[in-house]
């Protein structure tokens, strides 16, 4: 399977909003990844999302069929989960309480 670029912003209605310039980003759940640019996704975009108060973001690796979940804490982002299709994990987030996606549906 070849790498597929992934870039998506999910709107999270329960995320606190910030000033006008960061409103969209602060109320979004970014989903990033193409499996080829981990430095951009895990370092550069992490700093951007942190600056604008994004509470959580996901990095999708289509080659390894994993999703890394990063959540904001008082100390900054932590990797709160690394989910894999091989382990038959299900993707959930407290930002969207009803969301439950088996990774098998993402990577089929």
Per-residue pLDDT of the chain (108 residues; tens, 9 = 90+): 444 444 444 444 444 444 444 444 455 677 777 666 777 778 888 888 888 888 898 988 888 999 999 999 998 899 999 999 999 999 999 988 898 999 999 888
SS (H, E, C) 22-85: HHHHHCEEEEEECCCCHHHHHHHHHHHHHHCCCCEEEEEECCCCEEEEEEEECCEEEEEEEEEC
Report pTM: 0.74
DSSP label at residue 77: E
């Amino acid at each position: 399977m070849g790498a597929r670029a992934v870039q998506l912003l999910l709107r999270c209605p329960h995320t606190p909003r910030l000033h006008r310039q960061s409103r969209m980003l602060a109320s979004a759940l970014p989903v990033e990844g193409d499996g080829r640019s981990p430095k951009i996704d895990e370092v550069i975009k992490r700093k951007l999302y942190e600056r604008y108060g994004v509470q959580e973001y996901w990095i999708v690796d289509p080659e390894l069929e994993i999703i890394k979940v990063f959540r904001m804490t008082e100390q900054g982002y932590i990797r709160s989960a690394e989910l894999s299709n091989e382990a038959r994990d299900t993707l959930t987030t407290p930002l969207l309480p009803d969301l439950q996606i088996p990774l098998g549906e993402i990577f089929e």
